[in-house]
């Protein structure tokens, strides 16, 4: 039985830890917040990020990052995308060659515009890297509500090891060799979820959300295939599946932030009210730059960038989207 370390005691990392502990896996968690560590070890609950869910005794939280990864087989980077590089730098001196690095973050790095796996590769050259992604809200995973995800890697034999470790009768894990498609689908869907939330916050209905999701899917496919992803991946769990769950669920922090923004609350306050990192906001900045570089038309991303960073009124942004020149759907 593998021993797994989670670096980051956020909601999804904690949920996966609980799932693995129920399976009999020994789990370590590291977090920079001492309050989170004490709550897990003493109160057996992650009160800040996953309240009212019991943390099994097979999970131990640590303050020392070297201690938490020692003698583990799999190390899960369960931190937001913008701190992945920093965490990799922290752990590199302590890694053993046979340890598998798994990332559950969704996004691309601002500035470099690199995918998460590329960021990890730059900092950790000697360990296999696996990406786990898909439609999987932490709140439901922790409650054993049926969930399906995907694992991918440049070295698929390691993805299959992770598949075996994480697979349960309530958490189904598929493999997909298209690492580019899996990562890009998971990153862009957060942008569209923000748009869907803003639409809800304004007070628009199902018609508008259906349009945003469908045309948003078109943007995912256009940028994803331009970067080398396979079109079938975007119709799968890490494309369409993740898009559906993130745009429609009140578990989605991106949708919730969008709702607040649509109601006129400033972006910074909306993010503070959510209390967790809203990945879609960082993704908008990165993909706005990336689509300009790749010369890909992404009108929803364009309008969202102007709403969030240039002060455009969301309703006028919708007007701009609806008033563009007529064209064929495909």
Catalytic residue list: 189
Instruction: Please tell me what DSSP assigns to residue 323.
Output: T
Which residues, in sequence order, are CB contacts of 297 under 8 Å at separation 6+? 222, 291
Residue 12 and residue 166 in contact, taking contact as beta carbons nearer than 8 Å: no
On the CB side of 297, how many CA atoms lie within 13 Å of its CA?
A: 4
Of 225, 241, 108, 113, nearest in space to 178 by CA: 225
CA 69 from centre of chain: 22
On the CB side of 243, how many CA atoms lie within 13 Å of its CA?
A: 28
What are 265's two structure tokens?
């609350």
What are the phi and psi torsion angles at 27 (to 5°)?
A: -125, 135
Q: Give the position of tokens 């009768």.
A: 169
């Amino acid at each position: 039985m593998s021993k797994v370390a989670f670096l980051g005691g956020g909601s999804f990392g904690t949920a996966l830890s609980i799932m693995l502990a129920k399976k009999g896996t020994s789990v370590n968690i590291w977090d920079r917040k001492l309050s989170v560590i004490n709550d897990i070890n003493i109160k057996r609950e992650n009160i800040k990020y996953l309240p009212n869910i019991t943390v099994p005794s097979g999970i131990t939280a640590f303050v020392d990052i070297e201690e938490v990864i020692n003698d583990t087989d799999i190390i899960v980077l369960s931190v937001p995308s913008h701190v992945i590089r920093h965490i990799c730098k922290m752990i590199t001196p302590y890694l053993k060659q046979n340890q598998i690095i798994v990332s559950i973050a969704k996004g691309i790095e601002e500035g470099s515009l690199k995918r998460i796996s590329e960021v990890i590769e730059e900092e950790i050259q000697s360990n296999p890297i696996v990406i786990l992604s898909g439609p999987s809200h932490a709140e439901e995973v922790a409650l054993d509500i049926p969930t399906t995800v995907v694992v991918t890697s440049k070295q698929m034999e390691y993805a299959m090891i992770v598949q075996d470790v994480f697979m349960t009768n309530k958490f189904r894990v598929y493999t997909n060799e298209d690492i580019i498609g899996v990562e890009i689908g998971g990153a862009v869907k957060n942008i569209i979820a923000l748009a869907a939330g803003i639409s809800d916050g304004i007070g628009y209905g199902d018609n508008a959300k259906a349009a945003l999701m469908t045309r948003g899917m078109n943007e995912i496919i256009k940028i994803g295939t331009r970067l080398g992803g396979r079109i079938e991946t975007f119709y799968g769990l890490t494309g369409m599946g993740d898009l559906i769950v993130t745009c429609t669920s009140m578990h989605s922090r991106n949708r919730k932030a969008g709702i607040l923004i649509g109601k006129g609350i400033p972006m910074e306050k909306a993010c503070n009210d959510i209390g967790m990192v809203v990945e879609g906001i960082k993704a908008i900045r990165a993909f706005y730059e990336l689509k300009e570089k790749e010369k890909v038309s992404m009108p929803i991303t364009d309008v969202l960038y102007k709403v969030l960073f240039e002060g455009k009124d969301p309703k006028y942004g919708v007007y701009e989207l609806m008033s563009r020149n007529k064209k064929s759907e495909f």
